[in-house]
Chain A
Amino acid sequence: MLRWRHGDGLYRGLLWVLGAAVPLLFVALLARLVGAALPALRRFGVGFLLGHTWDPVAGQFGGLPFLVGTVASSLLALLLAVPLAIGLALFLTELAPRWLATPVAFCAELLAAVPSVVYGLWGLFVLVPWLRIHVQEPLAASLGDVVPLVRGPAYGVSLFSAGVLLAIMIVPYIAAVAREVLAAVPTAQREAALALGATRWETAWKVAMPYALPGLFGAVMLGLGRALGETMAVTMVIGNRPEIPVSLFQPAYTLASVLANEFAEATDDLHLAALMEIGLLLLLLTLVVNVVARLLVWRVARRWRAA
Chain B
Amino acid sequence: MRPRRWIALAAVAAVAACGGEPPRAPGALRQESQGSGAVELTGAGSTFMYPLFARWFAAYAEHHPVRVNYQSIGSGGGIRQFLEGTVDFGATDVPLSDAERARAPGALVLPVVAGSVAITYNLPQIKAPLRLDGPTLAAIFLGVIRRWDDPRLRALNPGLALPARDILVVHRTDGSGTTAVFTAYLSQQSPEWRQRVGQGTSVRWPVGLGAKGNEGVTNGVRQTEGAVGYVEQIYARQNRLPMAEIRNRAGEFVAPSREAVEAALATVDVPANGDLRLSLLDRPGQGVYPIAAFTFLLARQHMDDCRKAKALVEVFLWALTDGDALARELGYAPLGPALDRAVQARLRSITCGPQRQPTLSTR
Contact = CB atoms under 8 A, between A and B. Distances in A.
Given A156-B224, A264-B74, A265-B174, A240 B201 contact: no
A261 B223 contact: no
Given A54-B204, A265-B77, A240 B175 contact: no
B204 A55 contact: yes
B210 A251 contact: yes
B210 A240 contact: yes
B209 A262 contact: no
Interface string A181-216: 000000000000000000000000000000000000
Interface string B172-203: 01111100000000000000000001111111
A18 to B, nearest CB: 32
B231 to A, nearest CB: 16
A122 interface: no
B76 A266 contact: yes
B80 interface: yes
Contacts of A253: 210
Interface residues of B, dominant DSSP: loop
A59 to B, nearest CB: 10
B209 A157 contact: yes
A239 B198 contact: no
Nearest to A250: B209
Interface of B: 73-77, 79-80, 94, 97, 100, 166, 168, 173-177, 197-205, 208-212, 216, 219-220, 223-224
A248 to B, nearest CB: 15
Contacts of B79: 267
A157 B77 contact: no
A56 interface: yes
B288 to A, nearest CB: 27
Nearest to B224: A155
Which of A53, A57, A58, A155 has most chain B Cβ within 10 Å?
A57
Contacts of A132: 223
Contacts of A157: 209, 211, 220
Interface string A127-160: 0110010000000000000000000010111000
Interface string A96-134: 000000000000000000000000000011001100100
B198 A264 contact: no
A58 B198 contact: yes
A87 B41 CA distance: 56
Given A155-B224, A240-B210, A266 B201 contact: yes
A263 to B, nearest CB: 8
B309 to A, nearest CB: 26
Contacts, number: 92
A264 B205 CA distance: 19
A262 B220 contact: no
A57 B220 contact: no
A271 B177 CA distance: 16
Given A156-B223, A241-B210, A57 B198 contact: yes
Given A262-B202, A264-B77, A264-B174, A129 B223 contact: yes
A236 interface: yes
B354 to A, nearest CB: 32
A74 interface: no
Nearest to A58: B198
Most B CB contacts (10 A, CB to CB) among A56, A132, A257 go to: A56
Most chain A C-beta atoms within 10 Å of own C-beta, residue among B74, B100, B177: B74
A73 interface: no
21 contacts: A55-B204, A57-B197, A57-B198, A155-B209, A156-B223, A235-B173, A239-B210, A240-B210, A240-B212, A241-B205, A251-B210, A261-B173, A261-B175, A262-B201, A264-B73, A264-B174, A265-B176, A265-B202, A267-B79, A267-B80, A267-B97
Nearest to A132: B223
A212 B337 CA distance: 76
**Chain B CB within 10 Å, residue with most, of A132, A257, A264:** A264
